[in-house]
Amino acid sequence: MITFRSEGDALSLRFLGGKKRGIYSIYVNGELLDRVDAKRKKKRALIRTWEGLGEGNHFIDIVAELQPGQSLAINGVHSPRS
């Protein structure tokens, strides 16, 4: 699990998709925001953005859900300040 604090109203996740990739669960302040399936037929860089998180501090958790033989690769997380 990756955990960090953000003051931004949006969140972008850059990650790699591919045949042996798993799922990311994204939580904001303990609430499930989204589940992102990184499995793709071919390897490629992907980006997912969520807006409207609201003003103020947020605690972001990114949780990997993996089956045997799967992996996840995060290239970057960006949370612009409001």
Q: Which pLDDT does position 19 carry in this prediction?
A: 92
Amino acid at 60: I
Q: Which residues of 34-61 are buried (b: 16+ CB within 10 A; e: fewer)?
A: eebebeeeeeeeeeeeeeebeeeebebb
**Residues 82, 71: Cα–Cα separation, whole Å:** 32
pLDDT at 80 over 80: no
Give the pLDDT band (50/70/90) at residue 81: low
Mean pLDDT score of the chain: 90
pLDDT top residue among 26 and 81? 26
Residue 31 clears pLDDT 90, i.e. is over it = yes
Report, as an integer, the average pLDDT of 62-69.
91
Note whether 28 and 63 are within 8 A (CB). no
Confidence band, pLDDT 50/70/90 cuts, at residue 78: confident
Distance in angstroms (rounded) separating the CA atoms of residues 51 and 1: 22
